Amino acid sequence: MKFRHFLLAAATVVLLAACSTSNQQNQAEQQATDSLVVNVYTHRHYDADKQLFADFEKLTGIKVNVKTASADELQKLMEMEGANCPADVLLTVDAGRLVRAKDKGLLQPIQSAVLNANIPAHLRDGEGYWYAFTQRARVIVYNKEKVKPSELSTYEELTSPKWKKRILVRPSDNIYNQSLLASIIAHKGEETALLWAKGIVANMAREPKGNDRDQIYAVANGEGDIAIVNSYYLGQMLHSKEAADTIAAKKIGIFFPNQADRGAHMNVSGGGVAKYAPHKENAIKLLEFLSSEQAQKVFAEANQEYPVKPGVPLSATLASWGTFKADTLSVVQLGKFNTAAVKILDAAGWK
Ligand code: FE
């Protein structure tokens, strides 16, 4: 009997040992697979980004899992998921949203000599919570048959009576307009910003509706003569496979305002490491890759966005628009004045 007990016990020990070895093996394998993953929550839904994630996988062996949704949905999701949030990286557009993500505690600060070297200081958070990876100018586009570029000068001049019923611009709930107004607040104060917003409302060709692309179409169709839009939309329409896009875009000229003073208003898209990132090291690697010359070229070529890394060549289309003076106001300021901008747009009756 005793011997049988001994055998049973010995067999159990062997079995347990075998189990724990295979458990350890499984765990190690699982960790190895886990360590080759980075989870990205992104509002950017461009082919350029898909290409970049594939390039990153090839370069590092780290698999990029992507979840896309609207910018505001992603932030809400991260808030809800809290410490269980699987996101390592949040990518979004507009400095206002990046500042909001930091303020809501969705990001964590990181230190990276690579990011600091590649991205100028006015295009990143001072504490390392987020970094810009592309820039876009908020420009004036005009119908080449109706407007000469010599008639254009500054954002401020758009409030002149000569533009009455001629300006197209999207609604005020969009963050691009909020950030443009935030830049005017930062440079000139709230009173001037309110007068400006009222002046634009007075000159609108129609009640604001649609997105930036719709404004470009409306200018091409003669619903107004000029529009305020982000530069890459025109670039993307020029390269579109849809004939209607290219036909409309070819009727349009692009103008960079405020060249004699502060420069054209610039906004950014960017991202940071999520507060509860399970793969923080991989997240930093991905952000560093997005700031590299290789990735910055793709943003310019495939998406017609301006690189943040100095010295990266522009796409042929961006180069054809010429060099221009860009406002170097820290994009942090756009987030800082967002609430004031929303109030002013409302007070000005900008729908
Ligand atoms: Fe956009």
Tell me the CA–centroid distance for residue 71 and ligand 1, in Å.
11
For residue 13, is pLDDT > 60?
no
Cα-to-centroid distance, 230 and ligand 1 (Å): 7
**Per-residue model confidence (pLDDT) at position 73:** 93
pLDDT for 45 equals 76
Q: Compute the distance from residue 33 Cα to the ligand 1 centre, in Å.
A: 35
Cα 25 to middle of ligand 1, angstroms: 46
33 or 160: which leads in pLDDT = 160
Q: pTM (2 decimals)?
A: 0.85
Q: Which residue from 31, 32, 49 is spatially nearest to 40, judged by alpha carbons?
A: 49
Q: Where in the chain is the domain with CATH 3.40.190.10?
A: 39-135+267-320, 138-265+331-347
pLDDT value for 19: 46
Q: Would you say the C-alpha torsion 130, 136, 137, 143 has a positive or negative sign? A: negative
**Rounded Cα–Cα distance for residues 175 and 180 (Å):** 9
Superfamily of structural domain 39-135+267-320 = Periplasmic binding protein-like II (3.40.190.10)
**Average pLDDT, rounded, for the chain:** 92
Cβ contacts of 135 within 8 Å, gap of 6 or more: 123, 266, 267, 268, 305, 306, 307, 308, 326
What number of helices (H) and strands (E) belong to the chain? 15, 10
User: Count of CB atoms within 10 A of residue 161's CB?
Assistant: 8
Going through 162-277 in order, the beta strands assigned E by DSSP cover 167-168, 226-230, 252-255, 266-274
CA of 306 to the centre of ligand 1 (A): 13
Q: What is the pLDDT of residues 204-213, one digit of tens each?
A: 999 999 999 9
- Strand, helix or coil for residue 44: coil
Query: Alpha-carbon distance 111 to 49, whole Å?
Result: 24
* pLDDT of amino acid 46: 81
- The CA 139 to ligand 1 mean position distance, Å, reads 13
Evaluate if residue 271 carries a pLDDT over 80.
Answer: yes
First to last CA, the chain: 89
- pLDDT reading at 182 higher than 90: yes
Grouping H, G, I as helix, E, B as strand and the rest as coil, residue 259 is coil
Q: Which CATH number fits domain 138-265+331-347: 3.30.750.210, 3.40.190.10, 3.40.50.740, 3.90.78.10?
A: 3.40.190.10
Ligand 1 center from residue 214 Cα (angstroms): 12
Q: Tell me which residue has tokens 């002046």.
A: 199
Instruction: Specify which residues 93 forms β-bridges with.
Output: 269
How much distance in Å is there from the Cα of 14 to the middle of ligand 1? Answer: 62
In the numeric block, the tokens 């908020």 are attached to: 138
Spatial separation of the C-alpha atoms in residues 74 and 79, rounded to whole Å: 9
Distance 44 CA to ligand 1 centre (A): 9
pLDDT, one tens digit per residue, over 287-340 is 999 999 999 999 999 899 999 999 999 999 999 999 999 999 998 999 899 999
Bridge partners of 168, per DSSP, are 227
